[in-house]
Amino acid sequence: MEALNPFWSTTMTTAPVAEAALDAAALVARLRTTFRSGRTKPLAWRLDQLRALRALLTEQSEEFLAALHSDLGKGPTEAYRTEVAFTVNEIDHTLAHLEEWLRPKPAGVPEAFRPAEARVVRDPLGVVLVIAPWNYPLQLALAPLVGALAAGNAAVVKPSELAPATSAAIARLLPRYLDPAAVAVVEGAVPETTALLAQRFDHVFYTGNGAVGRIVMAAAAKHLTPVTLELGGKSPVLVDPGADLAVTAQRIVRGKFLNAGQTCVAPDYVLAVGDTAAALEAELAAAVRAAHGEDPAADPEYGRIVNERHFDRLTGLLGEGRLVTGGEQDRAGRYLAPTVLADVSPEAPVMQEEIFGPILPVLAVPDLDAAIAFVNEREKPLALYAFTESEQTKQRLAEETSSGALVFGLPVSHLAVPELPFGGVGESGMGRYHGEYSIDTFSHLKAVLDKPLG
């Protein structure tokens, strides 16, 4: 399984070790001392930390936008919206509701035990580790931290070495805002992450690919530490006959080519049901032009591929199927145009792995039964998208498929709805977060029963 995973290669294990060797044991011991002192538990401390994190994002947004541009060519509007504002919204939602979420939840008591009182209390876990990936390197390091701090934990954040400018900005700026006794940033690659994972944490929250997810889970198992694994996979888009194809194409393009397709919940491929494929292809090409212009390389909001290894991986996936639009590339600039492929065989390399880049294959399937079978024969996706006017189709998809999320009409949008849990199922991950779900992830739900002695 590991050999098939495009995100992991043995070269990653030879990444350079940081100059100053990390004393992970001492770091975790220090944070544990803080946690045991009770410093992180009061609501006031948690709210202070969340406000400080908010200030970090708003006051230093220019620094972060510059770093995101350097790492991924992210345009300022997209980077602000998907990294800075997204995380600020998560903080604001948490600030508005935290007191209510932390209130003990009364529980019923069976007749035989009465009089007695029962409640559920959300207890902080202790010291938690957040390991972040490179594709949304700010959001995916800090949004989990919102939950960790709101739930009253001490935390270590390990940003991705593949987004080095953002990682450096987080490491430099975060300690200026957050309580240094309770929050630490460790930069580094495999050796540093391995050193951290050898320690006993109370929760490990990992976002990234499934091959490393297995390494994380195996390391955590040695300490019986629970994990959240936010992974990826191929998220399909079903397009039903009768859907407005212009609107459909516009919304698929917006979700797919965000961050040059390097989004965990990006539409991975399209299943065009019935006779929709030909008309949809034309609409997709038009929607790419409308969103990114005749020359997307000149669009300041169109991103770049993170590194040459991923560029080579992606260009290696072209060459099968019929090119509808795109295909232009520049290795030195890590530019790959928004690309739509048609007549793609399910056996083609582009259909064997998560694409995680700006290539959109369109496959025709005869009917809804075939589309559902296609989805169910593969790993459970992080998201399943559908464009349909049929309530019956929606109901069948809800009942007959399994995915991290099921979204009709607007791909990628669900993760910005803070009252929805965000997470995968099966190969796309385990656990969930955002909003109140983050509090549950980073807390122990402690049962309290109080029976009077009288």
Where are any strands of DSSP class E within 233-374?
A: 235-239, 267-273, 322-325, 329-330, 335-336, 339-342, 359-365
Q: Is 230 in the site for ligand NAD (CB under 6 A)?
A: yes
Closest CB 9 distance from ligand NAD, rounded Å: 10
State residue 401 phi and psi, 5-degree precision. Answer: -130, 160
Closest CB 415 distance from ligand NAD, rounded Å: 8
CB closer to ligand NAD, 342 vs 356? 356
β-strands 443-450, 339-342 pairing: unpaired
CB closer to ligand NAD, 124 vs 424? 424
Give catalytic status of residue 283 as yes or no. no
Stretch that binds ligand NAD, among 27-35, 129-137, 240-248, 315-323 (CB under 6 A): 129-137
Closest CB 259 distance from ligand NAD, rounded Å: 10
Cβ neighbours for 225, distance < 8 A, ≥ 6 positions apart: 200, 201, 202, 203, 204
End-to-end CA gap in the chain: 61
Stretch that binds ligand NAD, among 102-110, 118-126, 134-142, 170-178 (CB under 6 A): 134-142
| 155-214: contacts with ligand NAD (CB under 6 A) | 158, 160-162, 189-190, 193-194, 207-209, 212
Q: Is 354 in the site for ligand NAD (CB under 6 A)?
A: yes
CB closer to ligand NAD, 190 vs 247? 190
Q: CA–CA separation, 125 vs 202, rounded Å?
A: 6
Q: CA–CA separation, 245 vs 243, rounded Å?
A: 6
Give catalytic status of residue 281 as yes or no. no
Q: Which one from 78, 264, 354, 436 is the annotated catalytic residue?
A: 264
State residue 20 phi and psi, 5-degree precision. Answer: -85, 115
Alpha helices, H only, 200-300: 210-221, 245-256, 277-292
Cβ neighbours for 151, distance < 8 A, ≥ 6 positions apart: 46, 122, 124, 125, 438, 439, 441, 442, 443
Q: What angle do CA 139, 144, 150 make, to 5 degrees?
A: 125
Q: Is 429 in the site for ligand NAD (CB under 6 A)?
A: yes
| 364-423: contacts with ligand NAD (CB under 6 A) | 382
Contact assessment for residue 429 and residue 230, using Cβ atoms and an 8 Å cutoff: yes
Q: Is 350 in the site for ligand NAD (CB under 6 A)?
A: no
Q: Which one from 187, 192, 230, 281 is the annotated catalytic residue?
A: 230
Q: Is 121 in the site for ligand NAD (CB under 6 A)?
A: no
Stretch that binds ligand NAD, among 101-109, 224-232, 283-291, 323-331 (CB under 6 A): 224-232
| 241-300: contacts with ligand NAD (CB under 6 A) | 264
Q: CA–CA separation, 279 vs 275, rounded Å?
A: 8
| 91-120: contacts with ligand NAD (CB under 6 A) | none
Buried b (16+ CB within 10 A) or exposed e, 317-355: bbeebeebbbbebeeeebbbbbbbbbebeeebebbebbb
Interface size with ligand NAD, residues (CB under 6 A): 30
CB closer to ligand NAD, 152 vs 381? 381
Per CB under 6 A, residues contacting ligand NAD are 7, 12, 131-135, 140, 158, 160-162, 189-190, 193-194, 207-209, 212, 215, 230-232, 264, 354, 356, 382, 424, 429
Residues serving a catalytic function are 230, 264
